[in-house]
Chain A
Amino acid sequence: EPEVTQTPSHQVTQMGQEVILRCVPISNHLYFYWYRQILGQKVEFLVSFYNNEISEKSEIFDDQFSVERPDGSNFTLKIRSTKLEDSAMYFCASSHITGSQYFGPGTRLLVL
């Protein structure tokens, strides 16, 4: 069964450093998303991406964040200058034209 994959599974970084989280969505999906879950809190929407551009972004997704689909398979989330409060599980998801979103296993980001 096709699945969304994410790398790395864990990332530890120093405050102020740049991180890139990688995702390979399900191959025939057209919509891509990033969500995050801070420990003990809800899963929160960050950004959606369709047709090579951002469809919608939340207020969390400020200028420090960017997304890119550099080739036909990868979908990346970049945080330019990490802050302590960026520590969270980051989930990538994808969906077909309409319907349910399928999530990857997540990347646990720890900012020290």
Chain B
Amino acid sequence: DQQVKQNSPSLSVQEGRISILNCDYTNSMFDYFLWYKKYPAEGPTFLISISSIKDKNEDGRFTVFLNKSAKHLSLHIVPSQPGDSAVYFCAASSNYGGATNKLIFGTGTLLAVQP
């Protein structure tokens, strides 16, 4: 059940450049989207989120863009730093504000930022 897809298993970027991580979803009921960063043997760390009423949300070096018509979201990191090297997961939920809020995760993209 591939409701959330991250088609790039890995991405390599030079330090200081922009990293763009992509995510596609199929379920039109999703109304809240999140990006998590994960290091090996650690739990996912929340980075940034966006609700379906917006098309952009920015927090420091991180910006998430949502294109509802294309069912596509992306995470931009600029400038990229070596410490950003990790696996990035896209996640989605429906019934925002409801008691469930279960997250459906993508498969992750391994970002490597080269010094």
Interface residue ranges, A against B (CB under 8 Å): 4, 6, 31, 33, 35, 42-45, 48, 50-51, 55-56, 58, 91, 95, 97-106, 108
Contacts and interface: CB of A to CB of B under 8 A. Distances in A.
Contacts, number: 60
A95 B103 CA distance: 12
Q: Which of B89, B97, B101 has the most CB of A within 10 A?
A: B101
Interface of B: 34, 36, 41-46, 49, 89, 91, 96-97, 99-108
11 contacts: A31-B101, A48-B101, A51-B99, A58-B102, A97-B97, A99-B49, A103-B36, A103-B44, A103-B45, A105-B42, A108-B41
A103 B89 contact: no
Contacts of B91: 43
Contacts of B43: 4, 6, 91, 103-106
Q: Is the interface of A mostly helix, strand, loop or mixed?
A: strand
Q: Is the interface of B mostly helix, strand, loop or mixed?
A: loop
Contact of A103 (B46, B100, B101, B102): B46
Nearest to A50: B99
Given A55-B100, A56-B100, A103-B46, 6 more contacts: A35-B103, A42-B106, A43-B44, A45-B102, A51-B99, A101-B101
